[in-house]
Amino acid sequence: MVKLSVIPHPNNFGARIDGVDISKNLPTQVIKDIREIWLEHQVVYFADQYLSHDELIKFSLTIGPFGDDPYVKSLDDYPNIVEVRREPNERVKLFGGTWHSDWSFQAEPPDATVLHSKIIPPHGGETNFCDGIRAYESLAADIKREIQGLSAIHSARKPYTKEGVEAGGGSNRTMTLLPSDKAWDVQAHPIVRSHPETGRQSLWVNPLYTIGIEGYNERGSQQLLNNLFNHMIDESFIYRHRWEPNMLLFWDNRTVLHNASGGYDGHRRVLHRLTIAGGQPKSPS
């Protein structure tokens, strides 16, 4: 019988789940319980999970169907697994090193992202998470009024155009990025997003993919976005996750920003990443 144990982090943002081997066939109720814990804490993880690719895929599908991963090459035999790899002598910009919400430039961005750690350096390499719900709740009333109903413009142009990939290290990067002219496309999403399952509201803009605000000139748009970005990454909203090998973590892309930390030059770091499909972001009703 599976008995889950939950160890929450401060402010209920992030939690460790013990008492389950996720490589096994999980009862329907356990899958439901894991989902409820995830929705409450937004970022959840399991230690000591020795998963094959097939087992990783099987567990990920309990969260939801796979989404589309553009601009980055997946494993040859596993099109839904992207290997996030950095070699000891690699000196290009970190993959995922800027605060972002995964693929927010898509019309239907992912609901979740799954990471399974394989090789972890002895120091550095944390993944940082920002709680968009508490960031929104703590905004000043006048800022809340200003942004309510506004839409932001998202694009993949900074990292994934030909120019962006070259500026980020190009062929010197171990991971294979797939630049495209489609990265110039734009997509509008609400700045304040309502969670489709919990109804909670969150700030949903990010420095990597959010390039403007509808109805604002460039100067006014950038000023408001910078104010929101600086507010969101206040230390009080951040959980810094320290990896161990064979750890499975997933987060709610609808409320959470994240970025990758460096600090492990001279060491290899390898994780496997899967994307869970999502829906169109909605404003609060």
- C-alpha distances in Å from residue 273, one per residue of 12, 56, 74, 190, 221: 24, 10, 9, 26, 33
CATH of 70-276, one of 3.40.50.720, 2.50.20.20, 3.60.130.10, 3.30.2090.10: 3.60.130.10
Cα–Cα dist 35/209, whole Å: 28
Q: What is the pLDDT of residue 30?
A: 97
Cβ partners under 8 Å of residue 186, min gap 6: 105, 153, 154, 155, 211
- CA-nearest of 252, 260, 165 to 204 is 252
Parallel/antiparallel/unpaired status of strands 43-46 and 15-18: parallel
Per-residue model confidence as pLDDT tens for the chain (285 residues):
789 999 999 999 999 999 999 999 999 999 999 999 999 999 999 999 999 999 999 999 999 999 999 999 999 999 999 999 999 999 999 999 999 999 999 999 999 999 999 999 999 999 999 999 999 999 999 999 999 999 999 999 999 999 999 999 998 999 999 999 999 999 999 999 999 999 999 999 999 999 999 999 999 999 999 999 999 999 999 999 999 999 999 999 999 999 999 999 999 999 999 999 999 999 997
* Angle, alpha carbons 149-150-155 (nearest 5°): 140
DSSP-assigned states of every residue in 159-194: HHSHHHHHHTTGGGSSS-B---GGGG-EEEEESEEE
- CA-nearest of 244, 250, 211, 198 to 62 is 250
Q: What is the pLDDT of residue 60?
A: 98
Give 55-78 pLDDT, tens digit per residue: 999 999 999 999 999 999 999 999
Q: Decide: 269 and 86 in contact? Cβ < 8 Å.
A: yes
E strands, 79-224, where? 82-86, 112-119, 127-131, 151-155, 186-190, 192-194, 201-203, 210-213
What are the sequence ranges of the domains in the chain? 70-276
Give 173-231 pLDDT, tens digit per residue: 999 999 999 999 999 999 999 999 999 999 999 999 999 999 999 999 999 999 999 99
For the chain, the C-alpha Rg in angstroms (whole number) is 18
Q: What is the pLDDT of residue 254?
A: 98
Q: Return the DSSP state at 5.
A: E
- CA-nearest of 138, 147, 273, 128 to 210 is 147
What is the pTM for the complete model shown?
0.97
